[in-house]
Amino acid sequence: MKKTELAKELGVWDAFLLSVGGMIGGAIFVLGAQTGMLAGPSALLAWALAGLLMFIIALVLVEQATVFPRAGAIPAYAMETFGKSFAVRSFASFLGGWGSLIGQWFGVPFSAMYVGGYVVSIVPGLAGYETVITWLVLTFAFLLNISGISITGKANAVLTVLLLILMLSFFVRGAPAVDLKNYSPFFATGGLNFLKAIPIAALGFGAWLSILAAAEEIKNPEKTLPKAIGLSILVTTIFYILMLFPLYGTVSWQEFTPENPFAFWAPLSYAAVKFAPTESWVQLAISLAAILALITTTIALMLLASRVIYGMGRIGIFPAASAYVWPRTRTPASALIIVYVVSMILGSNPEWVNAIIIIGTVMYAIGFLIGILSHIGLRINRKDIKAPFRVPGGIGFSVIAFVALALLLVNVSTFEIWYSLLAVVIGVVYFAVRYATKTGVFAKKPS
């Protein structure tokens, strides 16, 4: 009996908006204050450079996606490019998949948890029901994802377009109120603090990986993926700048401190109070934009995590049951249920949010590291294949991507490394058991 395959229904427009909606999440609504506190007005440039660094990393993965347009992305690339040793390829595939899975999966409950705060800012009577709101957001994202990739894409497109309109309205109202004196001196806190702001800003750019993970569901991936990824990172960067220009131009960077909690935790709302104190619609637009951004990110990251689980299940690294596709909607039902259930558990415990952030930051970097190494493997070990899309400079571009990744890890502390190491050890133990018992991919004849 032929296994049901994932539905190939997303076009360029769908993939582009899925990537944009995934990237524009809670980061821009909170982290603008943290980057402003660190870098002063130059934080505006830090966000632009973060987009450029992510674009560089994305290109080396896009090249591989045009050759291997498979669900899960990084684990599939590693299995094909890490040389002749089956054990090495399997472990690289597992580590890349485990890193990208944990790094992005933890973003699902993280995004959903923050919706409640913005809902309460609009409807104060819902205070105390934030966890229930988290459950509703996760359930909505799950039902949308399991209904089919076409429905997911269309619903996300509508939500993302509304989000961009609201973001644009903030810029249109805030830009005329900008005082350019707030931008002088531009590098107010020095070059080192400017560099430290870049990896914080980069947290707002990671979800583009969702459309690579869904490559099997995208029409003409060889042409669609390079266009959708490049355009989505560019547009996201532009809209971030449009939001941040009025923020840093109407609020002095010195106001972004924990001692000023309104400015520190809700910087855009704080700016709106300053430049439009009598116009309540501006704050309403910010709250609605934040809600939409967090929901679209939840949708995209749930899609991403489920496709990684599905891809690793099909390879045999995870149990075969995790690769089950529901024939009715042609979606990876088992993987989606796993993501949903675990996300509901994590989302029910807001006190875990710091651990979620700490582990996720380093783990997604591990996934990207394997992805960059896979690109080198593609160029060296797979000379039998020529990618439809090739980055200039070959392996030299991979080195540039390594540098970009290193810059994005400049703030990682020893504490974060130890937390993430625990997640890695758990994964490696699972892999070792799988290998020792000759189950899954290890029960097959290596090829």
Residues 58-84: tens digit of each pLDDT:
999 999 999 999 999 999 999 999 999
Please tell me the predicted confidence (pLDDT) of residue 359.
Answer: 73
CA dist 287 and 148 (Å) reads 29
Please tell me the predicted confidence (pLDDT) of residue 189.
Answer: 94
**Residue whose C-alpha is closest to residue 22's, from 267, 232, 285, 171:** 232
Please tell me the predicted confidence (pLDDT) of residue 103.
Answer: 82
Please say if the pLDDT value at position 445 is more than 60: no
Sequence-separated (6 or more) residues with CB below 8 Å from residue 371 = 57, 60, 61, 64, 73, 74, 77, 78, 96, 100
More confident residue, 58 or 107: 58
Please tell me the predicted confidence (pLDDT) of residue 401.
Answer: 96
Please tell me the predicted confidence (pLDDT) of residue 439.
Answer: 84
Grade residue 416 by pLDDT with cuts at 50, 70 and 90. Answer: confident
Contact indicator for 41, 251 with CB cutoff of 8 Å? no
More confident residue, 113 or 225: 225
Collapse the DSSP code of 167 into the 3-class scheme (helix H, G, I; strand E, B; otherwise coil) and give the result.
Answer: helix
Please say if the pLDDT value at position 1 is more than 50: no
Please tell me the predicted confidence (pLDDT) of residue 220.
Answer: 94
Q: Enter the tokens of residue 6.
A: 């994932």
Q: Give the model confidence (pLDDT) of 266-304 as tens digits.
A: 899 999 999 999 999 999 999 999 999 999 999 999 999
CA dist 221 and 211 (Å) reads 10
Grade residue 444 by pLDDT with cuts at 50, 70 and 90. Answer: low
Grade residue 358 by pLDDT with cuts at 50, 70 and 90. Answer: low
- What are the E-state strand segments in 51-99? none
Q: What is the mean pLDDT of the segment spanning 1-17?
A: 86
CA dist 246 and 248 (Å) reads 6
Please tell me the predicted confidence (pLDDT) of residue 139.
Answer: 98
Please tell me the predicted confidence (pLDDT) of residue 110.
Answer: 84
Contact indicator for 31, 197 with CB cutoff of 8 Å? no
Please say if the pLDDT value at position 132 is more than 90: yes
**Residue whose C-alpha is closest to residue 22's, from 218, 256, 292, 274:** 292
Please say if the pLDDT value at position 420 is more than 80: yes
For the stretch 243-265, what's the b/e string if a residue is b when 16 or more beta carbons lie within 10 angstroms of its beta carbon?
A: bbbbbbbbbbbebbeeebeebbe
User: With 0-12 CB in 10 A as exposed, 13-18 as middle and 19+ as buried, what is 436?
Assistant: exposed
CA 108 to chain centroid, in Å, comes to: 10
Contact indicator for 70, 311 with CB cutoff of 8 Å? yes
Please say if the pLDDT value at position 329 is more than 50: yes
Please say if the pLDDT value at position 105 is more than 60: yes
Contact indicator for 214, 303 with CB cutoff of 8 Å? yes
Please say if the pLDDT value at position 326 is more than 80: yes
More confident residue, 67 or 444: 67
Average of per-residue pLDDT values in the chain: 92
Please tell me the predicted confidence (pLDDT) of residue 353.
Answer: 65
Tell me the whole-structure pTM to 2 decimals.
Answer: 0.93
